[in-house]
Structure 1
Amino acid sequence: MQGFSSFLSLLNLALTVFSAFALFDAATRREDAYRAASKQSKPFWLIILGIALVVNLIFGILSFLPVLGLIATIVYMVDVRPAIRSLPGGGRSRRTGGGSSSDGPYGPYNGGR
């Protein structure tokens, strides 16, 4: 019985890490990428994935609610994330200072040199 309990603990940890990764990934994507991919809005996915993470942390694996959170996380990972990543730039938020004002779609513009 103790082996089964440790297996459930590891499974709960894996599901929590999976949900946390999906939430972090959703938070780092641009808002307009969700609209461009014809998916729900970024706040929608942040709320759904946040609830899934909290439910995993509170209830563990032996409840029905973490299963619903797992389904939502899987939907994000296999449907929404690939659609957003297929967009130019991968849907990632651009940090300030990372590029130059002369950067074009294929790299920096050097004046024809």
Structure 2
Amino acid sequence: MVATLQLLIFLVFMLAIFGLSVWALVDLLRRPASAFPAAGKRTKTFWGVIVGVATAIAFCSIPPPIGIAISPFFLSLLSAVAAIVYLVDVRPAVEPYTRRRPPSSGSSRGGW
């Protein structure tokens, strides 16, 4: 009973780390490469490698009912750290340099 509960908690924890890493990777891929140097951060390629490897490690850390669990636990914690550093430090710095389209509502003036 206790072992099953421990496995379930570990599974939820690893899925949360994987979800966090995927969120960081998707956000990174949506940002333009020119925004990173403009914000004073490392290049998009650098962060892409860091977050991509972190996502792969997080995927490989999911336990057997869903995943394969071939990487050690401490590596999954390092992948969580990489994703958190991107989301907390790099993402807010790059955000102002990301072009957003203006909302396309019917209330815009001008045009036809």
Same fold (TM over 0.5): yes
CA deviation vs aligned residue, 1:19-61 (integer Å, no higher than 9, x gap) = 0010000000011110110001001111111100110111348
Give me the identity figure in percent: 34
Q: Which has the higher contact order (CA 8 A, sep 6+)?
A: 2
TM-score w.r.t. the length of structure 2 is 0.75
Three-state SS of the structure 1 residue aligned to 2:90 is: helix
* 1:87-106 matched pairs, under 5 angstroms: 87-88=96-97, 91-92=98-99
**2:83 aligned residue:** 73
The runs of at least 4 consecutive aligned structure 1 residues that moved more than 3 Å come to 108-111
**1:49 aligned residue:** 51
Instruction: Report the number of matched residues.
Output: 96
Question: d(CA) in 2 for partners of 1:110 and 1:60?
Answer: 53
Structure 1 residue runs of 5 or longer lacking an equivalent are 100-107
Three-state SS of the structure 1 residue aligned to 2:42 is: coil
TM-score w.r.t. the length of structure 1 is 0.74
